[in-house]
Amino acid sequence: MSFAGKTAIVTGSNSGIGLGVARELARAGANVVLNSFTDRDEDHKLAAGLAAEFGVTARYIAADMSDPDACRALIAQAGACDILVNNAGIQHVSPIEDFPVAKWDAIIAINMSSAFHCTAAALPVMRKAGWGRVVNIASAHGLTASPYKSAYVAAKHGVVGLTKVTALETAQEDITCNAICPGYVKTPLVEAQIPDTAAKYGMTEEEAVQKVILERQPSKQFATVEQIGGTAVFLCSPAADQITGTTISVDGGWTAL
């Protein structure tokens, strides 16, 4: 399968899952637009690296996904948008009564509202092209809850709802919208938590991974960014043309519990 000639925009893609998804889309031949809120040489070098490795066009466009105008400007600046992957996200953990209002607002804005603004800007572009695929990176927390993650769980459930509405509004066009719900994925962010978790519980790092971090993941293995990317590629492939408005869990069995 080749996405040659298609342009994929992946929000929040200078690290972790977003970068992994962009890599797999580029491997499949798509031109890619990377994004985050920073504008550093290393951000632009990531795009140049993908272009060199996969022979596609790759660009990095800085845009803050907490800002509605910046979300819409990202799509406009990209000039094309056949595949939109709404991935940007942050986390904060706190009991509801202590949850900082600014953190609540930022998580709702970046994790949920940015998907709305980017989708709103992308759909007219997709309609004009006669084809489009929207892939929202939700979470197992879009389907289940954990204590102390009120904003994150609310935002990710919101993304799953937005996914269904987007699918219904585009159902009779060659546009689909689905959400990927990862469990724990081995990203630099999660890897960095392993030593601290081990120290906190007086465990080895392996025990901390198995007993604490992957407690709710029955496979006892992390998902990988390549697996999330491969799922996104599948959702954009012809085999998935009739898959819309649904969620695909990549969570080692978490939501089967």
Six-digit token string for 139: 């979470």
CB of 67 to ligand NAD, least distance (A): 8
Identify the residue among 7, 113, 170, 187 touching ligand NAD (CB under 6 A): 187
Q: Which of 60, 148, 152, 184 is catalytic?
A: 152
Identify the residue among 36, 144, 150, 244 touching ligand NAD (CB under 6 A): 36
CA–CA separation, 255 and 218 (whole Å) = 9
CB of 40 to ligand NAD, least distance (A): 11
CB of 125 to ligand NAD, least distance (A): 20
**Residue 203 interacts with ligand NAD (CB under 6 A)?**
no
CB of 220 to ligand NAD, least distance (A): 15
Identify the residue among 89, 132, 245, 252 touching ligand NAD (CB under 6 A): 89
**Residue 17 interacts with ligand NAD (CB under 6 A)?**
yes
**Residue 116 interacts with ligand NAD (CB under 6 A)?**
no
**Residue 66 interacts with ligand NAD (CB under 6 A)?**
yes
Non-local CB neighbours of 118 within 8 Å, separated by 6+ positions:
9, 11, 65, 71, 72, 74, 75, 84, 86
74 or 236: CB nearest ligand NAD: 74
- Name the CA dihedral angle for 17, 22, 26, 27, rounded to a multiple of 10 degrees: 0
**Residue 64 interacts with ligand NAD (CB under 6 A)?**
yes
**Residue 16 interacts with ligand NAD (CB under 6 A)?**
yes
CB of 164 to ligand NAD, least distance (A): 18
**Residue 121 interacts with ligand NAD (CB under 6 A)?**
no
73 or 190: CB nearest ligand NAD: 190
Task: Cite the active site residues.
Answer: 152
Contact residues: ligand NAD, CB under 6 A = 12-18, 36-37, 64-66, 87-90, 110-111, 137, 139, 182, 184-185, 187, 189-190
